[in-house]
Amino acid sequence: MIMLLANPPRFSWSHARHNQMIECPRKYAYQYYFSHEGWLSSSTKLAKQAYRLKKMVTLPLLVGQAVRQAIQNYSFRDNTASLEEQRTAMRNFVDHELRRVYLQTRDYGDEWYHEPNVYTMILEYYQKGYLADYEIQQTKTSIERCVISFFRSKTFRDLQSSDSIQILPQEAFQSVELDSVKVFVSLDLLYYKPDTNQYIIVNWKTGKQAHDHLTQLALCALYIQRTYNAPLSSIQIRNEYLYSGGNHTYSVTEKEIDAFHHTLKESLINMHLYIEHPEYNQPKPLSAFPLKQSTRCRHCVYQELCKKND
């Protein structure tokens, strides 16, 4: 018997969703379909378990979230504290956030099991029942590197250099309508330099440096082009690598925008192969989403479901 979702989620597209589909269709199924409404008491056992696992965080992800929040809270204007005091304040904030989540993980496991949307669980602790010394040390190293690199970053220097620079407000979830589909855009900071008529998109990268995806960069540029009616020549996208230090700044061309549209169309075609009823975004059975085993499986929050269902 085919299990139908009672209330399927609305279909949308994002670079993260695209990557998850490519990485592992089974993970994609849990993330975007079979965990849906798992927070409801009336949901199926599978939905509840998938949602519970979906809400878990890894230590690197936790560090990234805390660092981004600290930067979002940071005042680039009228900060009279010394740089050392500012670094200490940011470091303390991140430490406090990680400590708060660790205590929830350690002391409120039962509460998290029943209310994963209220409490947080760290994956590494969930798997072993403790955090290894090397994991704790790696986390401390990541925090220290990210905090130091932020105050040395090109973006920080840029925003300190002129009072005329405008930091533009950002919603929690930016989106643009493309091919009749809501496409979500991820960007951490956006500011405008009136003297050079430039829009600068900044993404804070808190992990080890990896290849920058043209798809994501082109989508960011397309979002600014549509939202602010800005020519591509006035848009720059900067990835700040806080773990390793340094940055890369990109300008996107019309050719690269066209390449993104092609990628989007191909991605949408592939995503719809997993949908039984497109008008409702009703997915095919879980068995239609193949499990793609790789070395990434041991870091996947859904691994216990994969072992259970295969």
Is the predicted pLDDT of residue 100 greater than 70, yes or no? yes
Q: Residue 83 has which token pair?
A: 């740089």
pLDDT band of residue 97 (cuts 50, 70, 90) is: very high
pLDDT digits (tens, 9 = 90+) for 122-136: 999 999 999 999 999
Query: What per-residue confidence (pLDDT) applies to 53?
Result: 96
CA angle, 210 as apex, 52 and 272 as ends, to 5°?
A: 55
Identify the CA nearest to 149 among candidates 94, 218, 211.
Answer: 94
User: Average pLDDT of the chain?
Assistant: 92
Query: What per-residue confidence (pLDDT) applies to 310?
Result: 56
Share of the chain above pLDDT 90, in %: 80
pLDDT digits (tens, 9 = 90+) for 267-291: 999 999 999 988 899 999 999 999 9
pLDDT band of residue 145 (cuts 50, 70, 90) is: very high
pLDDT digits (tens, 9 = 90+) for 5-20: 878 899 999 999 999 9
Share of the chain above pLDDT 70, in %: 97
Query: What per-residue confidence (pLDDT) applies to 5?
Result: 82
pLDDT digits (tens, 9 = 90+) for 183-239: 999 889 999 999 999 999 999 999 887 776 788 899 999 999 999 999 999 999 999
Q: Which residue has the higher pLDDT, 211 or 68?
A: 68
pLDDT band of residue 163 (cuts 50, 70, 90) is: confident
- Helices 133-152 and 154-161 pack at an angle, to 10 degrees, of 30
Identify the CA nearest to 125 among candidates 143, 103, 144, 140.
Answer: 103
pLDDT band of residue 3 (cuts 50, 70, 90) is: low
Query: What per-residue confidence (pLDDT) applies to 1?
Result: 41
Query: What per-residue confidence (pLDDT) applies to 203?
Result: 93
Query: What per-residue confidence (pLDDT) applies to 172?
Result: 63
Identify the CA nearest to 131 among candidates 101, 111, 110.
Answer: 101
* C-beta of residue 243 within 8 angstroms of C-beta of residue 209: yes
Distance CA 241, CA 252 (A): 20
